[in-house]
Amino acid sequence: MILDKAADFDVRKYLRLEMMPHFLCPGCGHGIALRALLWALDELDQDKDKLAVVSGIGCAGRLSAYIDANTFHVTHGRALAYASGLALARADLRVVVISGDGDCLAIGGNHLIHACRRNLNLTCLMLNNEVYGMTGGQVSPTTSAAMLTTTTPLGNSEPSFDACALAAAAGAGFVGREVTYHLPKLKELIKAGLEHPGFAFIEVLSDCTEIFGRKNELGSSAEMIMRQTSDLRPSAYRDTVEAPFRPNELATGVLARNDRPEYGTAYRNAARAIKAAAERRGGK
């Protein structure tokens, strides 16, 4: 039944077809993540004129250009800052941020923390492929231990960052994680995040087949995505001390919920109360 519904979904109605062909490498997981997002929006019957998608720099940041909605391609690491202002000023819009692991956790890490803390009504998709794929293949905060990148030619010595643990600790209203292999599950998780009345953070474990996969001899794009169902992340295929992304160690699905007042609503209610009090004083 799920596969039948997937076949019925026509992704083209949400795309700027004049932007095709896209720039993604063959086998890149980001395209699967984009399809999952658009599928979720379709099931929610989202009005494209009431949808705003904000993205930063990197392969993930390029995805907003393909979406036929109100889209904003902003500076490196600042997508959540722009989106926060937009969500506060335009409560009538559904605001979505698409960011990469470097964009969201490195230069944009501080913005992520405070977006979680504020709990504005917006959804952040962090597409995690463990590398700065577009800018040269440098190490990122989520690169698994011992993996090779252009800036770790002897293997990565730093532990990888658990973005979902950070988001939950910072107070995000909704935290979830899924792999691109499980497209229907990913769609359902994104849909739940979109419907959450507050800040939703969703980590999507994607694959960089060309820049990261080739350097670490991880095989074809099909082999890389199939590994998501077994040893999930590439560190499991090397003789490493740490393999943090094995399926029995890495939780997926909804990881945390924190149903507390949404910041924009609370702010507007406070502003109305102050205005009403001032009007009462003026009328006396």
Specify the pLDDT at position 241: 33
How far apart, in whole angstroms, are the C-alpha atoms of residue 166 and residue 184?
Answer: 26
CB of 70 closer than 8 Å to CB of 51: yes
Phi, psi of 212 (to 5 degrees): -90, -45
* 106 inside domain: yes
Asked whether residue 38 is domain-assigned, the answer is yes
Instruction: Supply the pLDDT for residue 236.
Output: 35
Q: Quick one: pLDDT at residue 6?
A: 61
State the CATH number of the domain containing residue 275: 3.40.50.970
- pLDDT for 8 equals 79
Q: Could you give the CA distance from residue 60 to residue 38 in angstroms, rounded to a whole number?
A: 15
Number of CB atoms found within 10 A of residue 6's CB: 15
Nearest partner of 175 among 248, 98, 123, judged by Cα: 123
- Please indicate, yes or no, if residue 152 is contained in any of the structural domains: yes
**What tokens does 14 get?**
């949400």
* pLDDT tens per residue across span 172-221: 999 999 999 999 999 999 999 999 999 999 999 999 999 999 999 998 88
Residue 238 pLDDT: 35
Domain for residue 5, yes or no? no
CB-based contact 203:197 (threshold 8 Å): no
pLDDT at 4: 54
Residue 103 φ/ψ, nearest 5 degrees: -60, -40
Helical residues (DSSP H) of the chain, grouped into ranges: 2-8, 29-43, 79-89, 101-105, 109-118, 163-169, 183-195, 211-215, 221-226, 263-283
CA distance 159 to 91: 39
Instruction: Say what the pLDDT of residue 7 is.
Output: 63
Count the domains in the chain. 1
Quickly count: other Cβ atoms within 10 Å of residue 92's Cβ: 6
Is residue 8 one of the residues assigned to a domain?
Answer: no
Residue range(s) defining the domain that contains residue 208: 16-283
Taking 70 as the pLDDT cut, the residues of the chain under it are: 1-7, 230-249, 283-284
In this prediction, residue 227 carries a pLDDT of 81
Residue 10 lies in a domain: no
